[in-house]
Structure 1
Amino acid sequence: MKPQSAAKKLGILLDAAPEEFRANGITRDEFEALQAEPPAWLAQLRAEGPHPRPVVAAKLGVSNSGLARAGITEPLTTAEIKALLENPPAWLVQERATQAAVRAEKQRVAERERAAARDAE
């Protein structure tokens, strides 16, 4: 597995990983070992960051597009994410509301489809 793929599956920023991880591919067994018993560097990256865009978006409760609209292009650390959550700027409040509306609409559509499927039976 390529280092970039492994980093994505592990939820870490490849540039923040140790050189030995970035330089070499890993086998499926090595990947599973990293997941089962993460080494100290992996546990620290997951806990403190810097985090890749999808992880930042998930922790903030917004979409990747919402981060882009807000101009957040660089990886954020856990401390930076906590600071944003403790004192949310206007863009974060708006993007979280947008994300909540999208989730509610998806749920409404799914419920309507389930009801239609029940009626069809």
Structure 2
Amino acid sequence: MTSRKTTQTMKPATAAKKLEVHLESTPAEFQEGVVSRDELNALQSDPPEWLRNLRRNGPHPRQVVAAKLGISISGLARAGLLDPLTTEQINALKDENPEWLQRERATHAEVKKEEARVKAKSAGTDQPRS
């Protein structure tokens, strides 16, 4: 008996997350169907115009907004930013550089620094201090 290779598919929400786009901003045919692994790879390697436009202008999902601002998703929530933002809105926040953004960036940097320290220690590369 020969084994058949089945096509791996995913829900549109999963595909949108992997593509780092806001699902509700994608075309209806993307939202209503399923996406195969081959289709996802094709979208990543040769994105259609709608995908290039979404990546360039948004609206962007929270994980992308947080990354562009240099803060965590929790930092977005603490600031009350729960909705997707466009690139223009993100750039305006960067230009304005409000106090909460400065604070969240500092917090995020400290968390990343601590994560790196713990990772180095667990890998045995942490040098004892004399």
What is the TM-score with the length of structure 1 in the denominator? 0.92
Residue 118 of structure 2 corresponds to residue 109 of structure 1: yes
Task: Provide the C-alpha distance between the structure 2 equivalents of 1:35 and 1:102, rounded to a whole number of angstroms.
Answer: 31
Aligned position for 2:4: none
Question: Over the residues paired in the alignment, what is the CA RMSD in angstroms?
Answer: 1.7
In our comparison, the structure showing a higher alpha carbon Rg is 2
Change (3 A) 1:117 1:58: closer
Task: Provide the C-alpha distance between the structure 2 equivalents of 1:112 and 1:61, rounded to a whole number of angstroms.
Answer: 25
Task: Provide the C-alpha distance between the structure 2 equivalents of 1:100 and 1:70, rounded to a whole number of angstroms.
Answer: 17
Residue 119 of structure 2 corresponds to residue 90 of structure 1: no
Aligned length: 119
Matches within 5 A, 1:1-121: 1-115=10-124
Q: Is the contact made by 2:117 and 2:126 (CA closer than 8 Å) also made in structure 1?
A: no
State the shift of 1:116 in Å: 6.4
Q: Is the contact made by 2:76 and 2:82 (CA closer than 8 Å) also made in structure 1?
A: yes
Choose between structure 1 and 2: higher helix proportion: 1
Of 11-20 and 102-111, deviating more is 102-111
Task: Tell me the percent identity.
Answer: 53
